[in-house]
Structure 1
Amino acid sequence: MQVPHFSFILPVSSHSDHEQLLDLDAFLVVKPLIFRSLLRLSRGSGLHPQCFPLLGLEKIGQQVAAGGSGDIWKGLVQGQIVSVKVMRIFQDKDIKAALKEFSREALIWRQLCHPNLLPFFGVYYLDGRLCLVSPWMDNGNIVDFLRNEPPNTNRLSLIVDVALGLQYLHEQNIVHGDLKAINVLVTPLRRACIADFGLSTIVNAMTLQFTHSTADMQGGTARYFAPELFRPKNKLSKSFESDVYAFAYVCYEILTGDVPFHDEKNDMAVMFQVLAGERPARPSACSGTKELDNLWELLSICWDGEAELRPKASYIIEQLIGPAIWATATTFAADWDDTFTSKFRRSLQAQSLLPSVSQIERMLFGDGSFRGHDC
């Protein structure tokens, strides 16, 4: 039987110069300006930036899983196993709308590079359906992983991994918006990494919804909702603070193996409990030592009912790895092939000559005459 091939989507864009500048780490200071400019140009012109190219991708085996918005398959590209999420979108207008939206979001995702964040490989069409490609994780999500691990598994290290990934997102002014245990994957080297940016939000009021979210109930999972998100009159959107609240529940699930409010069968009952100030009871897995006492205290302030009283991700990491808890992150080592990621592309482009400030200004606001060779 012949294996079906994927064809790479390469949207034509007149903004490739701007896109390439974003790949240069030397332009760290002006990246926000370049990024905002590129988004404005993309919206105004109807043209969209190129996605990071991969060639020769094939679907292998049978369908692995089905989510709320797509089917998961294994894929193969240049000898590396990848995850391929095939969107359940069939009408041409839906495909075009999804691609238009995701092309902007891919521009954001491709700039993210952190060992505790799932990298983005590319966007493809298969039989008229949109596909999203990322590294394959044999260990699955952290819930499945821990279910098959011995009780003495170092869960604190996994919690630090998640905190480090969340801190990186927040440093990039990105709100995850759908943080939960099943959106935390475990790499081959047993490191936790955050995936599925279901409601990732750029804090400067440019809200971008990732089309591959598996979220429910207004783009999130009710059991991980901060109380302010249950108050529609406040018209509050997901925030750094609601991410921190959800992080505490992810920690609870890592420690216990239970979803928050596991005794409740429906989201409405969870909402009433949360608004009444109820939180999960302290488990035995978080008792018995001074370090565990301090961990429970940290989780308690992370899920405080008042958003402004919750700590920042940097404070959480400080407490986790400091003398109060003494947790350690998983030792870093490469879990995926960087030749597929924007990190590799940036490493190549860093060798080229850099444009002057005036050339950057012309690229952003002027005649666009610079093509990377007139320094």
Structure 2
Amino acid sequence: ETSIWIQSKHSNVLPFLGYQVVDGQPRLVSPWMKNGTLEEYLKKHSNISDVDKLILQATEGLTYLHGSVPPIAHGDLKPANILITDEFTAALCDIGISRFILDGHTGLTTSGSAEGSSGFQAKELITGESLPTLQSDIYAMGGTLSGRKPFHSAPTHGRIIMLIVTDQMCQPEDHPGLPSDDPLWPFLRKCWSPNPEERPVVAEVIEKVRIILKSCVNIGRH
């Protein structure tokens, strides 16, 4: 984790300050973010324009990681791992299972497994078929765009996992805050495709977020 974090220098990636040994265990140190996470912000605020700006900035951070040489997969993307800085910008954090992508099957990884937030994870990570990839980040980004796990309304965590691994497609009733006619739905379904190769790349995601943000401004949503 440390080697990847040190190399990640972008305004929308939480900076690495150093480490401190506490009770014999090393602890990585980063700036304190008093504004909390995007997950917490979503629970308290309904200003669509502000939320979209934060999501755009988070996507710019992911674009930086995916565009690095070699590319870096975040591995545990979700609203709870997006912090809000003092300047009210988004910063990706918790890259504990981030990995360099050297080719389609191998890479330098900071974890021996794909442990992460399974409610936001793609099928291939849950089943252990794959370590984190750029495509699995895009799956998780779909949940970040919508603000909820793909099957948010499922009654139990186990039910969520079953729906994901059996290739079920998320429906509007799983996201009561996102109407069935919302133009974001077709794009979310692409992000949540069971086939990693059918998911969009991060450049498409950031373009979609920019379009959404522009539409919010044009129709005066506050």
Does TM, normalized by the shorter one, top 0.5? yes
Distance 1:220 1:134 in 2: 20
* Paired letter, 1:207: L
* Paired letter, 1:202: F
| Equivalent residues in 2 for 1:304-315, closer than 5 Å | 304-315=193-204
CA contact (8 A) 2:120 2:149 kept: no
Distance 1:225 1:277, change over 3 A: same
Distance 2:46 2:78 in 1: 22
Distance 1:327 1:119 in 2: 32
Distance 1:170 1:142 in 2: 21
Deviations 1:22-59 (A, max 9, x none): xxxxxxxxxxxxxxxxxxxxxxxxxxxxxxxxxxxxxx
2:7 aligned counterpart, secondary structure: coil
Distance 1:200 1:228, change over 3 A: same
**Is 2:82 the partner of 1:184?**
yes
Where in structure 2 are there 5+ consecutive unaligned residues? 217-222
Whichever structure has more strand as a proportion of its residues is: 1
Question: In the alignment, what sits opposite 1:146?
Answer: 42
Greater length-normalized contact order (CA 8 Å, ≥ 6 residues apart): 2
Question: In the alignment, what sits opposite 1:108?
Answer: 4
Equivalent residue for 1:251, pick from 145, 165, 170: 145
Question: In the alignment, what sits opposite 1:343?
Answer: none
**Is 2:109 the partner of 1:221?**
no
Where in structure 1 are there 5+ consecutive unaligned residues? 1-104, 212-216, 329-375
Aligned-CA RMSD value: 2.6
Deviations 1:270-314 (A, max 9, x none): 22211333344324543498xx41x22222211111110111101
* Paired letter, 2:171: A
Question: How far is 1:170 from its partner?
Answer: 0.7
**Is 2:126 the partner of 1:237?**
no
Distance 1:218 1:170 in 2: 18
2:194 aligned counterpart, secondary structure: coil
Question: How far is 1:123 from its partner?
Answer: 0.9
Distance 1:327 1:122 in 2: 41
Question: In the alignment, what sits opposite 1:268?
Answer: 158
Distance 1:227 1:137, change over 3 A: same
Equivalent residue for 1:207, pick from 99, 103, 108: 108
**Is 2:214 the partner of 1:326?**
yes
- In percent, how many aligned pairs have the same letter? 30
Deviations 1:176-221 (A, max 9, x none): 111111111111122111100121111123433269xxxxx95112
Corresponding residue pairs, total: 209
1:154 aligned counterpart, secondary structure: helix
Question: In the alignment, what sits opposite 2:219?
Answer: none
TM (normalized to structure 1)?
A: 0.50
| Equivalent residues in 2 for 1:4-19, closer than 5 Å | none
Q: Radius of gyration: which is bigger?
A: 1
CA contact (8 A) 1:141 1:186 kept: yes
Equivalent residue for 1:161, pick from 45, 52, 57: 57
Question: In the alignment, what sits opposite 1:346?
Answer: none
